[in-house]
Amino acid sequence: MRSYDYSDNAEQKINWKVFQLVWPYLLDYKARIVLAIVCLVLSKAANVSGPFLLKNIVDTLSEGGANSLILVPVALVIAYGFARFSMIILGEIRDTVFGRVTERAMTEIGLKVFKHVHRLDLDFHLNRRTGGLSRDIERGINGISFLMRFFVFNIAPTLIEIALVIGIFFFNYGIAFAAITMFAVVLYILFSMMTTDWRTAFVREAARADSVTSTISIDSLLNHETVKYFTNEEYEANRYDRALLDWEEAKRKNRLSLLGLNTGQGLIISVAMTSMMWLAAERVAEGSMSVGDFVLINAFMMQLFIPLNFLGFVYREIKGSMANIENMFSLLDLTSGVKDITDAPELQITEGVISFNQVSFHYRDDRAIIRDLSFTIQSGEKVAVVGASGAGKSTLVKLLFRFYDPNAGSISIDGQDVSQVSQQSLRRAIGIVPQDTVLFNQSIFENIRYGDPHASDEEILQAIRLAHLEDFIAQLPQGSATVVGERGLKLSGGEKQRVAIARTILKRPPILIFDEATSSLDSKSERSILSALQEISEGHTSMVIAHRLSTVVDADRIIVLDQGSMVEQGSHRELLSLKGRYFELWTAQLRDHG
Ligand SMILES: Nc1ncnc2c1ncn2[C@@H]1O[C@H](COP(=O)(O)OP(=O)(O)OP(=O)(O)O)[C@@H](O)[C@H]1O
Ligand SMILES: [Mg+2]
């Protein structure tokens, strides 16, 4: 089963494949990429020229010719300033120019993954924590940005610069300087990489502790009502406190290991610098090098090691980013269990006849939910499905919507197998008022508009009237602009159901399904809504699922479901005269309510 476990991706290996994945999305902006690379090269050139200018300034100054004292150093100083400025400004231009490329790639990939994930089947979504999924996408997108910024424009150019400087040292000052630099850089990089890998365990532990504390606090705060009902504030605080202690401990290890990394890096840099300076000082004393050369070497070393300072962090983040990007792309490889056949035709609704032919279905292999079920709902007929909780009534609806495919048998609408037509056209044809209505955290008006995004305001008001929402909305200070809260929690169950009904009215589908559509309403509202529903479903094929049998006595036919099998069917009268299961249910409910 697919599931989401917390994992820190930094553990994985450097993964070059990621560039292959991202590359195609960058290609739209060839000109910008070329311009960015030109800026990069020019700024590196400016950067490398800096120490040379410095050397010349120092040398001219220390030679101290009377006339050169004014003119030459001034020119050199200005040139030096210009080089520094060019380096900075070219770097900025490069980032600005390339930023657009990165952002476009990020939005394009993000949108693509978002669309793809919405196309995946229900099973995928049920098995995956939504928070985890959106975090995967977000991390992947941020990974792209990080990779571009740090790898393409930081690490790679720095490596090139190192090679250049080693070359310069070798040709100008001989093997010793080049060798020390090379040795120091290699040692530095190896040390940083190894220490970072070693630290990963601590970083991961800290990240996990971080995630645990936030999960605990979110879960606890989300359930604030339950916490109050059971007066478990203290218990919750203790749980949170324990998690925080773990977090502190993990952070401590993380911090200490960082100290180790930074100390080691500092040591390598200092030893390398000291030996280079020593060597250079000796040469200056001998007279084989000028003071300017001494300054030049010093300047180069400083320039080289500053970007390397972040190497440990960048190395880990780049590995993490690469893994995150790959992780996000791997979502694109997932395919839905429920797929359209190639060139799936649209469902053509003529009569709206629904038939289940020997349908069997299970969610898990070890438990059958629907067993060999066959029935037909004729055009314009209203069929009720009743049965105990867990009998499989809502599952029938999910099968009809093709959220799942039956394990055996088939379902067809107007003679077309639902698995042979496009899911879009199938779902467009069916309207549902579901058992648990979940609303978007938007206004009531926008939530109703969801039934048909192109509907006019007039049509929406009409739907509001039909769903008997008018009076309720009139009581609200902000009317239909009232925002309903996360998942619609600021509305009562009955109000949510009426919003769902209005939404379905707006969709105007040929086939209607009501899954306990009025279960949260009081008898009076229920009656008025039922009559409204009757109006809407007039002439439509409809399936009504209900516990309260009084709401389905007028159905053309009632199907009694028991553990996924149909045990009886017929009209209310016929079923009563059978004196079977329906009769039992009916008399039991009469006893309770009457
Ligand atoms: N995604 C799922 N994975 C595994 N089992 C599931 C899943 N969805 C539902 N079930 C199980 O399938 C059985 C039938 O569920 P269904 O929702 O169809 O019942 P129902 O008849 O609509 O019940 P109720 O009247 O309470 O709404 C239940 O026992 C439920 O636990
Ligand atoms: Mg149900």
Compute CA distances 320 → 11, 14, 99, 105, whole Å: 7, 9, 21, 19
The torsion region of residue 136 among left (phi > 0), alpha (psi -120 to 50) and beta comes to alpha
Rounded to the nearest angstrom, the distance between the alpha carbon of 425 and the centre of ligand 1 is 26
Asked whether residue 334 carries a pLDDT value surpassing 90, the answer given is no
Beta-bridged to residue 408, according to DSSP, are 360
The closest of 375, 433, 353 to 559, measured between CA atoms, is 375
- Return the percentage of the chain with pLDDT > 70, whole number: 95
pLDDT of residue 115: 92
Mean pLDDT over residues 281-297, rounded?
Answer: 88
Report helix, strand and coil shares of the chain as percent, to nearest 5: 65, 10, 20
Structure token digits, residue 247: 């977090």
pLDDT cut 90: percent of the chain above it: 27
Nearest CA to ligand 1 atom 28: 390
Distance of alpha carbon 517 from the chain centroid: 32
Q: Which ligand is nearest to the CA of 395?
A: 1
CB atoms within 10 A of CB 530: 19
Provide the pairing of β-strand 416-417 with 367-377. Answer: unpaired
Task: Give distance in angstroms: CA of 561 to centre of ligand 2.
Answer: 12
Local confidence band at 22 (pLDDT 50, 70, 90 cut-offs): confident
- CATH class of residue range 354-593: alpha beta
pLDDT at 401: 92
Query: How far is residue 177 from each of residues 157, 158, 167, 171, measured CA to CA in Å?
Result: 21, 18, 10, 10
The Å distance, Cα 322 to ligand 2 centre, comes to: 43
More confident residue, 154 or 299: 299
Encoded tokens for 87: 């380096």
548 CA distance to ligand 2 middle (Å) = 13
Residues in the chain: 594
Q: Report, as an integer, the average pLDDT of 380-390.
A: 90
For the chain, give every residue range classified as CATH 3.40.50.300: 354-593
Q: For position 395, what pLDDT does the model report?
A: 93
Which residues sit with their C-beta closer than 6 Å to ligand 1? 126, 363-364, 369, 389-395, 435
40 and 95 Cβ atoms separated by less than 8 Å: no
Give the mutation target among 124, 126, 394 for probing the ligand 1 site: most ligand atoms within 8 A of CB: 394
Q: What is the mean pLDDT of residues 225-230?
A: 86
In this predicted structure, the answer to whether residue 8 has a pLDDT above a threshold of 60 is no
Q: Report the mean per-residue pLDDT for the chain.
A: 85
Protein residue closest via CA to atom 24 of ligand 1: 389
User: 578 pLDDT exceeds 80?
Assistant: yes
Beta bridge partner(s), residue 411: 356
Give start and end residues of each alpha helix (H) in 120-232: 122-126, 130-146, 156-173, 175-222, 224-229
pLDDT of residue 21: 83
Residue 48 in contact with residue 64, Cβ under 8 Å? Answer: no
Q: Amino acid identity of 307?
A: P
Residue range 326-345: mean pLDDT, rounded: 86
Report whether pLDDT(69) > 70. Answer: no
Coil, helix or strand at residue 568: strand
Burial of residue 148 (CB within 10 Å: 0-12, 13-18, 19+) is buried
Which two structure tokens, joined as six digits, stand for 124?
Answer: 């995928």
Which residues lie closer than 8 Å to 347 by C-beta, 6 or more apart?
A: 413, 414, 416, 418, 421, 422, 425, 426, 428, 429
The band of 12, judged by pLDDT with boundaries at 50, 70 and 90, is low
pLDDT for 251-273, tens place per residue? 899 889 889 988 998 899 889 98
One-letter amino acid at 287 equals G
* Interatomic CA distance for residues 210 and 247, integer angstroms: 6
pLDDT tens, residue by residue, 538-552: 888 999 998 888 888
Task: Indicate if the pLDDT at residue 1 is higher than 70.
Answer: no
Ligand nearest to the CA of 398: 1
Beta strands in 415-504 (DSSP E): 416-417, 430-433
H helix intervals, 4-70: 17-26, 30-63
Closest Cα to atom 10 of ligand 1: 363
Residue 398 Cα to ligand 2 midpoint, Å, equals 10
pLDDT single digits (tens) 432-467: 888 888 888 889 999 999 988 898 999 999 999 888
User: Which of 393, 400, 560 for mutating ligand 1's site (highest number of atoms within 8 Å of CB)?
Assistant: 393
User: 10: pLDDT confidence band, cut at 50, 70 and 90?
Assistant: very low
Give the integer Cα–Cα distance in Å for 34 and 30: 6
Scored b (16 or more CB within 10 A) or e, 107-122 reads eebbeebeeebeebbe
Residue 351 half-sphere exposure toward CB, CA atoms < 13 A: 13
* The CATH number of domain 13-333 is 1.20.1560.10: yes
R_g over Cα of the chain: 36
Q: How far apart are CA 473 and CA 475, in angstroms?
A: 5
From 122, 127, 369, mutation site for ligand 1 pocket: most ligand atoms within 8 A of C-beta: 369
Can you say whether the dihedral through the CA atoms of 66, 69, 70, 76 is positive or negative? positive
Look up residue 557 and give its two tokens.
């036919």
CA of 433 to the centre of ligand 1 (A): 17
- Residue 594: per-residue pLDDT: 53
* The pairing of beta strand 416-417 with beta strand 408-413: antiparallel
* Domain boundaries for CATH 1.20.1560.10 within the chain: 13-333
Name the residue with the closest Cα to ligand 1, atom 30.
390
**pLDDT tens, residue by residue, 183-210:** 998 999 899 888 888 888 887 788 788 8
Per-residue pLDDT, averaged over 50-72, amounts to 74
